[in-house]
Structure 1
Amino acid sequence: MAHMTDIAPLDGSGSFQAYVAEPAGKPRGAIVVIQEIFGVNPGIRQMCDGWAAEGYLALAPDLFWRMEPGVQLDADNEQEMARGFDFYGKFDRDKGIADIEATIKTARAMSGGKVGVVGYCLGGLLAFLTATRTDADAIVSYYGAGIDQQLHESHAIGKPLMMHLAKADKYIGPDAQKAIHEALDGNRHVTIHDYEGQDHAFARAIGSARNEEAANKADGRTRAFFAEHLG
């Protein structure tokens, strides 16, 4: 069953919505799905539905609500892609992390169990920062652009973090990926998987960027990771 729910932000500045997909029985835990620059669009909702089918309560918060509630963009549409980058440029990352933290609290109360976080693109960066700033129980980051500029926060990672990097990522170059490996390979909480020949967004649920083989490999690792750490 899927529906929308209201979440109160930590700063008390109104409320924002999250898409919620509920499993058939008692949740085995909860997973917060963090959007790309395209909002809580059909692809993100499809991911939530997939996690619900696996037995998890899944929530996808509308992180652009402070700019425009309910954004849903198509990454394969040139004009909508441009709108997504415009939202990205205006997005307040710190407030976004606070909204994710509010969503984690909501997910924990709704499920009664542990909470995982998985994010893609912008969400991949936010997932990394979620690992350094929140009490999420397990975190997965898919090709988060800008992580190399936030590595000074890596000392605060205290829960399991899995990262998926596309070796041919047009937004995360070789130097950035090298910096990520150098900073995190020795961290006992972090596991990094590299995908040779893959470009950014190879695991997007819907759209031309998806590579079925690589996406299935990465998603299988993510499922096993959450099964291990969320119970």
Structure 2
Amino acid sequence: MLPSLPWTLKAPDGSAETVFSPPVRLSVAPPESAAKKDAQPLDIRGPMSPSAWPWILSTLVLLCALLYPLHRLLRSKTPAAAAASEPPDLRTPDQKALDDLDALLGLSLPVKEFYDRLSDILRLYLSSRFSVDALRMTTCDLLRALRSPEAEEAGARPMTKALLDRCDLAKFARFEWPEPERRRDVEAAREVVRRCVRAPLAQEMSKAAGANWTGGPKQGGTP
């Protein structure tokens, strides 16, 4: 029981009066579990079991480490297998260049992309025909490389210069060549290829004619 407590109250006029609070009776009851007769004390908590997550993560890391080399191996073999399954391109460089030029007109490309492709076709052909790295050369460097006797004999250097200059104007200066001029430029590229093809044939015919003439009947001899 809480005893009675005195409280002193002061009025505004300064008078004071003491009052007492009533005593308070408290009742303390046992907890509900203790009130039950059949209540038993709990066992001591056992040790914490280890988590399975570290083992799971370790297993996944090990699987990734084992499968990654296999994935790299299979990925490296796929392009080689695809390349092996493709039939070899038996076309000569001039045939391939002429086929690519024919296909270029049907692609309906914007002007810049059109002349990019036209320049690449011509440069690839010149690379294979005269053994020069035309794709990595500037136009000036390529024209200097085409001063070889073989290239001069083909007579295609002036047309090549004019055509590559037009390609450079479209690629770098954004010249918008109209459709008829694009067709004429494709035909000019065809003519470059044809001249390069005709040059070795003319040289072989000239050699054959010279051999026949030197092996012919001598003056005053019996025919």
Q: Per residue, is there more strand in 1 or in 2?
A: 1
Normalised-by-shorter TM-score class: under 0.3
- TM-score, normalization: structure 1? 0.27
- TM-score, normalization: structure 2? 0.27
